[in-house]
Structure 1
Amino acid sequence: MLNPNFMLIYVKDAKRSRHFYAELFDRDPVEESSYFAMFVLDSGLKFAMWSREKVLPAPTEQAGGSELVFSVDSDAALEALYSEWTGLGIAVVQQPARLDFGYSFVALDPDGQRLRVYAPAEDTIE
């Protein structure tokens, strides 16, 4: 059985993205070079970025076609994270809103990768 545990995104500037995500995750990468950086998150997920010009075969898609999703425990936790991220100057493309699956907002990383934060709706929590 396959068990995905690694997410890799393509970026324009790995050093800039490394600093962005180090601040966002409040940790340093476990591996990095001038064109690559990898973080290991508390969930065990490995999250890495790779400079677009170094990827083989060369990627054809641009950012924004997928989302890195962060769940939080409550609406209050979401509001606090929203305030923190906007205070850091992170671009927000969807203000906090109540959706079918919960309370959510969407921000962008420096390359336009979508970062969704959500607090699950009460009836979706297992």
Structure 2
Amino acid sequence: MNLSPSLQILFVDQPARSAAFYREHVGARVLESSPTFAMLALGDSARLGLWSRHTAEPAPTSGGGGTELAFAQPDRGAVDQLHARWTAAGVPVAQAPVALDFGYTFVATDPDGHRLRVFHPEGD
């Protein structure tokens, strides 16, 4: 059997607030929403669930920042443009644009501290 993940779930304080953040800053489409859960479409097939940390069962044992959602961009200019747009909108930036061994990148955070890495991969 080959299992393939179809949904990534982040535990959040307020699903509606988080859904609005991802809709505005990532361009995610809200597929469903309730007071305790929201599901969003990220691109054609990726799904992001935003589940209230106050009602999730079993209760989550950690908060945001332990993992990253990563968004590849076509070139360095696109990385810089998104960094400028998010900075102007007040999205917290944890790491300014920088060249690392895998490519050009920056890291921002969502309202719950989940890390959002934007990058352009650059190889050898």
| TM superposition score normalised by structure 1 | 0.93
Q: Deviation of residue 28 (structure 1)?
A: 3.4
Q: Distance in 2 between matches of 1:39 and 1:24?
A: 13
Report the equivalent of 1:103.
Answer: 104
Aligned residues: 123
Report the equivalent of 2:18.
Answer: 17
Q: Which moved more, 1:96-105 or 1:35-44?
A: 35-44
Q: Deviation of residue 63 (structure 1)?
A: 1.1
Report the equivalent of 2:59.
Answer: 58
Runs of at least 5 residues in structure 1 that lack an aligned partner in the other structure: none
Cα offsets for 1:49-91 (capped at 9, x unmatched): 0110110011111211000000001000100010111111000
Deviating above 4 A after TM superposition, structure 1's stretches of 4 or more consecutive aligned residues are: none
Report the equivalent of 1:6.
Answer: 7
Q: Distance in 2 between matches of 1:96 and 1:6?
A: 28
Normalized per residue, the structure richer in helix is 1
Checking the alignment, whether the CA contact within 8 Å between 2:103 and 2:120 is kept in structure 1 is yes
| TM superposition score normalised by structure 2 | 0.94
Q: Which residue identity does 1:90 align to in structure 2?
A: V
Q: Which residue identity does 1:120 align to in structure 2?
A: P
Report the equivalent of 1:42.
Answer: 43
